[in-house]
Amino acid sequence: MTRAKAFLFEEGKKRSWQGECAICGKVRWLQVCHIFSQGKYPRAAFMPDNCFPGCWRCHLGPGGWHLEPTWAAAWIVNRLGACEYEKLKLKVETAGPVEYTTTRLWLLEQMK
Ligand SMILES: [Zn+2]
């Protein structure tokens, strides 16, 4: 989320990000939204291009990303452009296995 200009807040072991939601543009607590679901494409769960920051409302709330898939698909194609969307789709569908140790180190580095 560093690339999204979000700020990390730590309270004990709990970590939360605050920054601009990519969907509504409001500064709120953020979640990681996956363009291609991590359930269907677990190998793309940690792929940065497959993620964007979103607030709870836009991600999981009524009318949001998960509850309105038709709207969500149109929004992301509009945001990325049809060509970039298709490139990402191909990348996600052909992703190799996740190397968890390397991915964890990379994510920790991104959070500094
Ligand atoms: Zn939002």
Q: What is the pLDDT of residues 62-111, one digit of tens each?
A: 999 999 999 999 999 999 999 999 999 999 999 988 888 887 887 778 76
Distance from residue 102's CA to the centre of ligand 1 (Å): 31
Distance from residue 80's CA to the centre of ligand 1 (Å): 17
Q: pTM of the full predicted structure?
A: 0.82
Distance from residue 3's CA to the centre of ligand 1 (Å): 17
Cβ proximity of 29 and 11 under 8 Å: no
DSSP tally for the chain: helices H, then strands E: 4, 4
To 5 degrees, how large is the angle CA 82–CA 72–CA 78? Answer: 30
Distance from residue 42's CA to the centre of ligand 1 (Å): 24
Check residue 2 and give its pLDDT. Answer: 52
